[in-house]
Structures are given as C-alpha cells and as structure tokens.
Amino acid sequence: MPVLIFGQMDELYDFSTVNGTLGWVKANSTSFTINAVGDGEGDLNFSTSKTPFIRSGNGLGLSTTTNGILEVRMKIASGLDVKAGNVMNFETNSNTGSLSSSTSFDITDDNQYHIYYLTIPDNPGTDAGSSAADVIDQLGVKVVLNSAQTASDHAYFDYIKIRKTGTTYDGIVQNASFGDFPGDLDAWSTAFTGTADGTAEYSANGDETDSAGKIIITAAADLTTNKFSLWNSHAEPLADIANTAMLHTTFAVRKNGAGTVKIMPRWRLKRTSNDTYKYVTGSAITLTDSYATVSPSKALSTTSETYNEIRFGFFIEGAVGEEVFIDNITTSIDGVTLLDESNLSENAHALRVFPNPVKDQLNIDTDQTISEVQIVNSMGKLISNTQGNVTQIGMGSLPRGIYIVRITFEDGQTNIQKIIKQ
C-alpha cells in the first residue's frame, strides 16, 4: 500500500564522487571538496576561518509556506572546540542578497556521523529593498568554533536534504513512519491507565537516514492494569463496515533495554448505531533489541453491528527506563478499498484546486464549465455531491484526513484531485 505524500518533493544533495558538490560552495573557508570515502563526502576545511560555512546554489525558491526542515548528516573531528552550528537563509528580491536570518543548533564533536534535523528559519523580509514576495533563495550551514582554527580542522558532510513540510498517510494512519516533521511526534499522542506513565518523542532511527517513534517508559506499565498507550490522533471515517471484517497491520519494532518489553496493536471503532466505541486488541508481541517486522491481524467482532470510524494505536508493557522504537506502519481492512494511486483516472482539463491542505473552503479555478463536484473519503465513501458550475466547496465540517475531489465537466470529462483536510 503506498504512502501518500502531499506537497513538494524533498531535495537531496549527497556529495557523491559522481555528483560533486551539487552547487554547494565554500564561504569563509579555504576549500570545500569531495573526498572519495564510501560514496563520497563533502569536506569543509577550516584553515582560514573559525566560522566556515557552505552555501547552496541559487534558485531554491523556498517560501515561508513551503520551507520545512534541513536534514544534515555530518561529523566533526574529536576534540574541536565547537561552539555551535547555524542554519542560514538568504533571500531574493533584496538589494543586498545577504543573510536574512539564522538559527543555531548543537554539534557533537566525536568524529562520528550524526543526523541533525534543523528548522529552516522563516524569511522575515527585513532586508533593504525586500518585499512581501521574498523567498529563500539559498541555504547555508555554518560551524562555529570557540577557539582559533588550524589547517587540520574539518567538517564532513555525508548529505544535506531539504525536507518540505507536508502530511503523509498510510491506510488509516497519519505520519505512519514518524517523518512528517522530525523532532516531533506529529499526529501521535500517549494515554495512561492506572499508575502507568511514560513519554513519547521523535528519534533518529539509529544512524540511518530514517526516523522512528521512540517511547520511553518512566513508570512500570503492563497490558492489563497499568496500561501505557500510544495512539494515532487521526480517526479515519469509514463507509459502514460489517462485523465480519479482518483488521491487518504491519510495522517494524524493537526495544532498547535489559528487560522484557511487549507491544499490542489496538484499533478503536465507532459504532454506527449510537456513536459509542469498540476496542479491538491484537496479541502481545515480545520485542528484541533488533528491528523485526511483524504483521498481526485481528477479527473485528463477533456481534451484529457496523462501524463508521477507525483509529489505530498500541499498548506497551515494560519496566522503567525501557525504550521502544516503532516505524513504517501500514494498515488495511478486508473488504475496504483504501486510497491507491491506481484508483485515480487521467485528468482531462487543467485546473487549480486550492488551498491544499484545506481547513474550511476549497476553491476551484478552471476555464471549463463544471457540471458536478463529488467528495469521496479515503475508504471510497461518497461524502457530498454538488451539482452545477461549482467554484467553492465547504469542507470545514469534515474530519481531518485524505479526500478525493472528483470534478466532472460539462463535456463529460473528469479531473480528480487528492486533498488533505486539516
């Protein structure tokens, strides 16, 4: 099942021996070159400055609505007296073309590669000659030393990735790989029963170029009385599904600690008849210190009832100090067709549908005459059907999630757009 990603694509600069510096150049330093180590690494030499930085090429075109985070995998030699790192942006439409703003971050100087997830600073538009149309034209990464530099001092970059802000869904789960905004468990929350306690935070997945959800147990939790839960905050609206359906999930999971740690998948469904909830819990899974991909399934119910909403989460059991890492969650339901790229037809006429994501009103801009607009949720259920030459659709009352807007024109042709409702 594909993960549906909305927004602009990420931009990766891997500094390989084939691609060179990919437009990133030195500033305040003697050199920035590519070393033939592995698949290549960018080598920033400190020899003439204790505040060297590298700067991207022109034309990034990031605005305050599209910028997101800068993911940097870099290392600093052991023993360097590092004060901080800086992420900088440089705006266009300014008379100076100079630095617009910057933010600081801490750097580990142990000669090991680490991944840093850095918020790209917004463009304040305060330079002389700037205007409301200013965009971030270039980015920079600086390393600042407390003491004087030497020619033997270096910073090494494995890659730099510009990750655009956006929202991902996989089946009924939002932010299923914990990477929508690294540093934040966006769309996930914890809950406690009895005396259980704990915290949830984002974690880099080891030293890989991935992300994971990290749970730290801060008071003993079990699967019966002192329950520690992690819930996805997205509740997916469903076409009514029957009690005979099977619920499926697949995810990668591991623990870090000396004790026994268990995890149980959970589904919460809203009954169509009275809007009360039914909880379905899978079997307990004992974790190891290495990632394992598991695929538990559970029969929905043995009673005669239907459900129109579903939410996914976990119970976690373990001693104080145990850590749990969860990643790459997928979900499916027998007999229910989740949104898939193959369900989308070719678009016949050009149009613009905005804003996306949308909170209240969705606008449709086209030079063609519209005869019908349908809104369908990610489970294939028709939510609304509006006749006539429609240019605005109210979506404020709809739950958060993925929707399909199917636009039919007067000549019988159609255009289909994927929309995120916030």
**35 and 94 inside one domain:** yes
Strand order in the sheet with 25-27: 25-27, 53-55, 136-145, 82-91, 99-105
**58 and 203 inside one domain:** no
Domain ends where: 113, 136, 163?
A: 163
**Cβ neighbours of 389 (radius 10 Å):** 14
Total domain count, the chain: 3
**305 and 384 inside one domain:** no
**174 and 323 inside one domain:** yes
**191 and 247 inside one domain:** yes
**256 and 300 inside one domain:** yes
Type of residue numbered 90: F
Q: What are phi and psi of 348, to 5 degrees?
A: -85, -40
CATH number at residue 416: 2.60.40.3080
Type of residue numbered 313: G
**327 and 360 inside one domain:** no
pLDDT digits (tens, 9 = 90+) for 353-387: 877 778 888 888 888 888 888 887 765 667 888 88
**Cβ neighbours of 347 (radius 10 Å):** 13
Q: Which domain holds residue 402?
A: 341-421
Type of residue numbered 115: I
CATH number at residue 232: 2.60.120.260
pLDDT digits (tens, 9 = 90+) for 83-141: 778 777 776 544 344 556 777 878 888 888 887 877 776 654 444 344 444 567 778 88
C-alpha distance from residue 113 to each of 14, 77, 94 (Å) = 14, 10, 36
Burial letters 18-31, b for 16+ CB under 10 A, else e: eeebbebebbbbee
pLDDT of residue 212: 80
Domain ends where: 302, 333, 364?
A: 333
**392 and 318 inside one domain:** no
**248 and 373 inside one domain:** no
**257 and 302 inside one domain:** yes
Report the mean per-residue pLDDT for the chain. 75
Domain ends where: 163, 188, 215?
A: 163
**313 and 398 inside one domain:** no
Burial of 106 (0-12, 13-18, 19+ CB in 10 A): exposed
Best-predicted range by mean pLDDT (17-31, 89-103, 248-262): 248-262
Residue 338 vs residue 81, higher pLDDT:
81
**20 and 37 inside one domain:** yes
Instruction: Please say if the pLDDT value at position 407 is more than 60.
Output: yes
Q: What pTM did the predictor assign?
A: 0.56
β-strand partners of 307: 241, 271
pLDDT digits (tens, 9 = 90+) for 62-78: 654 444 677 888 888 77
Residue 136 vs residue 276, higher pLDDT:
276
